[in-house]
Amino acid sequence: MMVEKVKGIKYHKKQDVAIVGAGMTIFRRRLNETGKELSYYAVKQALEEAGLDISDIDMVVMGSAPDAFDGVHMKGEYLLDGAGASNKPYVRVFVGGGTGVFAPIAGYWHVASGLADVCLVVCEEKMSSSHPHPQSAFKYIWDPILDRPLKPNLIWIFALEMRRYMHVHNIKHEDIALVSVKNKANALDHPAAQLAAKITVEDVLNSEPMALPVRRLDVSPPSDGAAAIVMVAPHIARQLTDEPVWVTGVGWSLDTTWWTNRDLYFPRYVAEAAKMAYKMAHITDPRKEIDVAEPYDPFDYKELHHMEGLGLAKKGEAPILTREGVTARDGDLPVCPSGGLLGVGNPIAASLGVKVAEIYWQLAYRAGKRQVAKEVTTGVAQAWGDLMQVGTVVVLSNKR
Amino acid sequence: MVFTEKIIDPRELRHVEGKIELYWIYTSGEAGDYFFKKLRDEGKFTAAKCKKCGYIFFPPRIYCEFDFSETEYVEVSGEGCVVAYAVAYYDKNGEKLEKPEIYALIEMDGTNGRIIHLLGEVEPEDVCIGMKVKPVLKPKEEREGKITDILYFKPA
Ligand SMILES: [Zn+2]
């Protein structure tokens, strides 16, 4: 048994954990398929890539964000049969937007603990069911006494955060818009993409104001979709592939709900989660040791914000790296080579497909046209959610 | 505040009222689309047979829940037999019903599936487990492609 101390928690790992297959549906604003059907398609693809059958699965983890999207209370249970979990140990996990990376973390502990040798992780979101707009569901995450009577819209707080980030580091909107330009262009090579496009910085700056400084093209779209990965123990991985991708670190952290009492310019919740994951993965200098990254990018400034939280850039440095092309697909540190949420779409939990699954595909050299130019060994995926509160981080490596 | 104190009206306390105002438009999905269009347009019932294990799902699904193989649609009669039933005196909001309603779990002929629906043209004391029933549909021009296009099941 390997014993390690992570963040003061004694961490006992029974066995290593590998990812051997991934799948995802197309991401679209509205899909006819039910959430169960979307889950089925994603699982089917992941199983095929892994070379496994549903009967090989020991346990299933479902990640899905608020019930208010699909409009089914306890939707984890509702989605169960589409996730292939009938009569199996099954659990749904949920930390808002952080769920797409948190569900693989839950899958990790299923296998690392030795409870399961083969764990299927499925993430689903059908946002289009929710009316008048998926955004409406977010109105009810606010404190009902202090915030909600003022009728805030979720984009307002992101506008506050973006403004604070720009102010502290003296960053121009032009520099932030480059992220949207890059990710939407990267998405042109993603077969599942909803909003792939060749756009310019001017297009972003001239797009419709949502809650300034946030404009329409700074934001990712709501989407329907599902994604899945298969996580296995080493002796199973060996039978399936010569090149498994290992989960070398996981971390998660939540900051206080009193979000007004934090300085918004820096995502401490991401930094804490990254610290935990890096310690587990024995990473001391992420900027040097991470080859490819998929930070959560529901807004363009968020990619930069999260790069800094992940230690991939110094505070205020992420826009400079972006401008210099370091984060391009052929750069020294490719960031969101999938096209991210800005380009592929943002079906909250199903962003698994462009975060952990994309890093898996990159490290397995299965990313096709999206494969980054440089040689890759280690990558990081991250998501963020709740009331700007949670950071979830997974580090993957093709070397054990 | 003490444990024995009971506040009957929460408005006696300093309070803010709130409401969650959302509504949903659900899609019936691939299999649902097929099933409800057939029901609405032709008054026909569809099940789905697993191409691998042969299990016949009703209502139909595009996948087999047990082995994850694809399925194919098969037409069935829509008739079935009662395997359990409940006689309801209160509605979903807890309001007393004028007349008790009979909810039955119905095993559908030619399938491995069951659905829940109302029984009609029968009194509660005359219902029994194993009773054969058949569907009564709304007139075609009133059908919308919904589960309520079936008004109820009646003794066959
Ligand atoms: Zn079957």
Look at A25 and A2; give whichever has higher pLDDT.
A25
- Residue A193 located in a structural domain: no
A356 or A387: which carries more pLDDT confidence? A356
With H, G, I as helix, E, B as strand and everything else as coil, classify residue A248.
Answer: strand
**Is the confidence at residue A3, as pLDDT, over 70?**
no
Average confidence (pLDDT) over A223-239? 97
- Is B10 a residue whose pLDDT tops 90? no
Whole-angstrom distance, CA of residue A24 vs CA of residue A125: 12
Q: For testing the chain B interface, which of A129, A146, A151, A224 should be mutated: the one with the most B CBs within 10 Å? A: A129
Q: Is residue A145 a part of any domain in this protein?
A: no
DSSP chain B: --TT---S-GGGSS--------EE----HHHHHHHHHHHHHH--EEEEEETTT--EESS--SB-TTT--BEEEEEE-S-EEEEEEEEEEE-TTSPEEEEEEEEEEEEETTSS-EEEEEE-SS-GGG--TT-EEEEEEPPGGG--SSGGGEEEEEE-
pLDDT at site A196? 96
A90-93 vs A59-63, strand pairing mode: parallel
Q: Which residue has the tokens 């983890």?
A: A61
pLDDT score at A283: 96
- B/e letters for A303-334, b = 16+ CB within 10 Å, e = fewer, are bbbbbbbbbbbeebbbbebbeeebbbbebebb
Q: What is the pLDDT of residue A151?
A: 85
pLDDT at A6 over 70: no
Structural domain boundaries, residue A227: 18-131+221-397
Token representation of residue A196: 């792939």
Q: Which among A40, A71, A81 has CB closest to B24?
A: A71
The pLDDT, as a whole number, for residue B2 is: 60
How far apart CA A71 and CA A81 sit, in angstroms, is 18
Query: Quick check: A147 contacting B, CB < 8 Å?
Result: no
Tell me the per-residue pLDDT of A250-269, one tens digit each, with 9 for 90 and over.
Answer: 999 999 988 889 999 999 99
Average pLDDT over residues A159-174: 97
The pTM (predicted TM-score) of the whole model is: 0.95
pLDDT value, residue A137: 87
Contact A148 B21 (CB under 8 A): no
pLDDT band at B19 (very low <50, low <70, confident <90, very high): confident
Answer whether residue A43 is part of any domain: yes
Domain assignment present for residue A248? The answer is: yes
Q: How many domains does chain A have?
A: 1
Instruction: Give the separation between CA A356 and CA A190, rounded to whole angstroms.
Output: 15
Question: What is the rounded distance in angstroms from the CA atom of residue A246 to the CA atom of residue A292?
Answer: 15
Cβ neighbors of B107 (< 8 A, separation 6 or more) are: B80, B81, B82, B83, B113, B114
Per the domain annotation, does A315 fall within a domain? yes
Sign of torsion over alpha carbons B72, B73, B74, B79: positive
pLDDT in tens, A317-348: 999 999 999 999 999 999 999 999 999 999 99
Which of A34, A84, A149 is closest, CB to CB, to B27? A34
Residues of chain B found within 8 Å of residue A54, distances taken between Cβ atoms = 66-68
Record: contact B66-A144, CB cut-off 8 A: no
Mean confidence (pLDDT) of chain A: 95
Question: Residue B32 and residue A130: Cβ atoms within 8 Å?
Answer: no
CA end-to-end span of chain B, whole Å? 62
Residue A267 in domain: yes
CB contact at 8 A, A62 and A94: no
Higher-confidence residue: B10 or A245? A245
**Which residues pair with residue B116 across a beta bridge?**
B105
What is the average pLDDT across A50-76? 96
pLDDT of amino acid B6: 74
Residue A304 placed within a domain: yes
Work out the average pLDDT over B89-114.
95
Residue A221: both structure tokens together:
């779209």
Residue type, A62: M
Q: Which range is least confidently modeled, A36-50, A135-149, B128-142?
A: A135-149
Contacts with A229 (C-beta within 8 Å, 6 or more apart), sequence order: A19, A21, A22, A23, A46, A104, A107, A120, A121, A352, A356, A357, A360
Closest CA to A124 of A48, A46, A43, A221: A43
- A261 near A146, Cβ under 8 Å? no
CB pairs under 8 A between A and B: 70
CA of B144 to the centre of ligand 1 (A): 31
pLDDT at res. A10: 62
A9 pLDDT higher than 80: no
Each residue of A104-163: pLDDT tens digit? 999 999 999 999 999 999 999 999 999 998 888 888 888 888 888 888 888 888 999 999
CB spacing of A82 vs B30 below 8 angstroms? no
Which CATH number covers residue A314?
Answer: 3.40.47.10
CB A104 within 8 A of CB A355: no
A327 occurs within a structural domain: yes
Instruction: Check B22 against A149: CB less than 8 A apart.
Output: no
